Structure 1
Amino acid sequence: MATETFSGSIKDLPTPCFLVDIDKVKRNCSRMIKRYRDVGVELRPHMKTHKTIEGGDLMTGGTRKKIVVSTLAEAEFYASNGFDDIIYGKPVIESNLYRCKKLQEKIEQFHLLFDNEKAIEALERNPLENKKWSVFLEVDVGGHRTGVPWDSDKVVELARLASQAKNVEFRGIYTHCSESYSKTSDTAVRSQAETDTKRFLDVCQRIRQAGVPVETVGLGDTPCCSVFVDSMAKLTEVHPGNYIFYDTQQFGIGSCAFDDIAVRVATRVISHKPEINQIVLDSGFVALSHDGMYCNLPNGIAVFQDHPELIMKKMSQEHGCVSVKSGQIDCNAYPIDSMLFIYPYHACATAANHPVYYIHSGDKVLGVWKPVKGW
């Protein structure tokens, strides 16, 4: 499952670099596919974490159908590589419609999100030639990002508006449950999943009671979809994404076991600074990202494999300044040019910084995946 073949060991790779354990990735993907197949809910995985063809194949079980993307660049990339039934996972705006039209022509099913009247008006002004625009109403069940508030009268008003539009086909409702990311145990995530699913199903019922058909009811986020609650079986589909890799944030939330984390950043020691109690690595924020720095995490944003004593104190663009959690650092324990491995706090943000992922099984490098970049 790698686009190029390599012979060699992880220790021979240039650093910093992004490592993907293919055995763990396959296990993570197979588990999620089986979970939702067993309960009769369709899995529509989100591609935003990895943005690769190979990862998409594993997440869809090789079907290359039913995915969500976070950018139009991703949509174009996947459409050009045989994927179909794609949701663009942000509210559409009129200035993007020229690209969306091309995607509608290229694949059989391309869907848009909307959360305001202006979007429907724009779609009406820009009709397709041979079919209607396929749209989902995005609902905010508490995350306060995009989407119509779940308890607002506007959910029914906007669903009705879309269903009555001449050039639009209203397909259903969609939500991302971001509140689960504030939890710190699987019990708390389960409770949040119950709340979010109840709110979302309530929205569905209100729209249907208003006489508007709702074909698809799609909810998703990796924490909730990883724990699963019985009420989620009433959904038609789910759309988690991070689970392909997982990370230390997901472990802290309760979404996964630590052994499920499939990615690391390999880095090397480039300097010793005993006078200020630190060593310096060749991986700064463009290798790891700053995501999580604001969270005051007890282990920092970087968890070091086999070195729980280490903590990332600060980062600049290409430097990571590392010390020990207590006492004086023994620089001799971390020789110059030696390799260390960091489990990232947020795999999506870390992966986004790398132009290539090195795929390995054990210590053997098997090849690379190349993610799509841009928007």
Structure 2
Amino acid sequence: MEGGALSSLETPALVVDLDKVKRNVQTMKERCEGGGVRLRPHMKTHKTLECADIMTGGSRRCIVVSTLAEACFYGDHGYDDILYAYPLPFDKVERCATLSERLDLFQVLLDHPEALERLRRRPLAGGRLWHVWLKLDCGNGRAGVLHSDAGAVQLAQAIAGAEGVELTGVYAHCGNTYYCKGVEQIQAVAQETTDLTLQFMEKLKAVGITCKSSIGSTPSCSHPVKDMSRLSEVHPGNYVFYDMQQSLIGSCSLEDVAVRVLTRVIGHCPHRNQLLIDCGWCGLSQDGSGKLPTGYAVIEGHPNLKLASMTQEHGRVEPLSGALDFGRYPLGALLQLIPYHACATAMMHPVYHVHSGGRLLGQWRPTRGW
């Protein structure tokens, strides 16, 4: 398979353009270095060792994960300084403790006093400290304690004052950038989130608390505002692959999107003016329904085709207008789908086929689970 053409793959298949991945990573690295802020890349999009090594420059340090499965996977492969950026699940405290006792720096995130109490009830061995980030809601529609709530500062004080616990930082995610259109709107959200986070840091300073600050999302970090340099870290993740959603938002150009799903024509349906392909929602996900004029994905090189609907293992493709020329799409013909949301699409595949210039280089296998 190595050295072969993409057409040699069985479909549906997720293919990753290594050259674009490396370019996206380098661009984000240079952007953060130029802005004077530390980059803590998020692993949730790809969940692979190989891509993580590219994103960290081989250091295997300073990453964010969204599941404990990812944290364990990376910890088992020599990674450290791992932030589990998910509100502390009470059923996973013991697993978090094991990682905290095994790694030099494993960090958890919480947004409720009860979560802090759960940590206090489970002191770490050897006098180790729980390293905790406070999740802050800056009006971004995700988890977190509201920035304007007096209880937010009180919770930070409780974390900082708890025995066996250290307040490592304040973490905000500007997920509402995903509703933006264009750089101006993205930067407005990035500015607001940055301002509110920095204002909260001043509130903490007023009560004698100093710690790190971090905000992130791929759109905001793709078009950062100047004041983000006053933060300690940023934590984008999707930038490594990008996707149609990021392209529509304005985070990237279509040329930056590094992933495709290969699919083949398996049926002609003249009575419906449709092609049948071997990629349904199990190979693409249904994320993005109604968001693209071309249906659930963009069919590269065929702007008049629309992925109109999917079942579990099949997709129905039809023209945006006119009659379908079935002669252009014989049975077995290969099509490339540009996914709407790379994170969701990647989750549908147990293996990624990596290529450069259309020649296969090998495979990446993501970790799975929670």
- Scaled by the length of structure 1, the TM-score of the pair is 0.97
Distance 2:34 2:58 in 1: 18
Match of 1:271, SS?
Answer: strand
Paired amino acid for 1:344: P
**How far apart are residue 51 of structure 1 and its match?**
0.2
Per the alignment, residue 133 of structure 1 pairs with: 130
Match of 2:125, SS?
Answer: coil
Distance 1:180 1:276 in 2: 39
Question: Within the alignment, does 1:275 sit opposite 2:275 as a pair?
Answer: no
Question: Within the alignment, does 1:172 sit opposite 2:180 as a pair?
Answer: no
Q: Is residue 94–residue 123 contact of structure 1 (8 Å, CA) maintained in 2?
A: no
The correspondence for 2:342, drawn from 326, 329, 347, is 347
Distance 1:143 1:319 in 2: 36
Distance 1:201 1:304 in 2: 43
The correspondence for 1:326, drawn from 321, 328, 342, is 321
**How far apart are residue 145 of structure 1 and its match?**
2.0
- How do 1:183-202 residues align onto structure 2 when only pairs under 5 Å count? 183-202=180-199
Distance 1:75 1:153 in 2: 32
Per the alignment, residue 356 of structure 2 pairs with: 361
The correspondence for 1:144, drawn from 116, 141, 163, is 141
Paired amino acid for 2:188: S
Pairwise CA RMSD: 1.0
Distance 1:93 1:42 in 2: 27
Question: Within the alignment, does 1:163 sit opposite 2:160 as a pair?
Answer: yes
The correspondence for 1:372, drawn from 348, 367, 370, is 367
Per the alignment, residue 218 of structure 1 pairs with: 214
Question: Within the alignment, does 1:230 sit opposite 2:226 as a pair?
Answer: yes
Distance 2:229 2:161 in 1: 29
**How far apart are residue 248 of structure 1 and its match?**
0.5
Distance 2:16 2:229 in 1: 31
Per the alignment, residue 295 of structure 2 pairs with: 300
Distance 2:158 2:265 in 1: 59
Distance 2:200 2:278 in 1: 49
Stretches of 4+ aligned residues off by more than 4 angstroms = none
**How far apart are residue 312 of structure 1 and its match?**
0.9
Distance 1:231 1:342 in 2: 38
Q: Is residue 155–residue 207 contact of structure 1 (8 Å, CA) maintained in 2?
A: no
Distance 1:296 1:355 in 2: 26
Distance 1:27 1:187 in 2: 24
Structure 1 unpaired stretches of 5+:
none
Question: Within the alignment, does 1:35 sit opposite 2:35 as a pair?
Answer: no
Q: Is residue 246–residue 260 contact of structure 1 (8 Å, CA) maintained in 2?
A: yes
Per the alignment, residue 338 of structure 1 pairs with: 333
Match of 1:163, SS?
Answer: helix
The correspondence for 1:13, drawn from 6, 9, 16, is 9
Distance 1:258 1:286 in 2: 24
Match of 2:350, SS?
Answer: coil
Q: Is residue 141–residue 176 contact of structure 2 (8 Å, CA) maintained in 1?
A: no
**1:178-220 CA deviation, whole Å, 9 max, x = no partner?**
110001111211111111111111111112112222x210101
Q: Is residue 172–residue 193 contact of structure 2 (8 Å, CA) maintained in 1?
A: no
**How far apart are residue 116 of structure 1 and its match?**
0.2
Report sequence identity in percent. 46
**How far apart are residue 298 of structure 1 and its match?**
2.1
Q: Is residue 359–residue 368 contact of structure 1 (8 Å, CA) maintained in 2?
A: yes
Distance 1:271 1:298 in 2: 23
Match of 1:322, SS?
Answer: strand
Distance 1:143 1:194 in 2: 12
The correspondence for 1:120, drawn from 116, 123, 129, is 116
Match of 2:155, SS?
Answer: helix
Question: Within the alignment, does 1:45 sit opposite 2:41 as a pair?
Answer: yes
Distance 2:347 2:319 in 1: 28
Structure 2 unpaired stretches of 5+:
none
Paired amino acid for 1:174: Y
**How far apart are residue 347 of structure 1 and its match?**
0.2
Question: Within the alignment, does 1:203 sit opposite 2:173 as a pair?
Answer: no
- Scaled by the length of structure 2, the TM-score of the pair is 0.98
Paired amino acid for 2:286: H
Q: Is residue 294–residue 308 contact of structure 2 (8 Å, CA) maintained in 1?
A: no
Distance 1:292 1:93 in 2: 28
- How do 1:278-293 residues align onto structure 2 when only pairs under 5 Å count? 278-293=274-289
Paired amino acid for 1:320: G
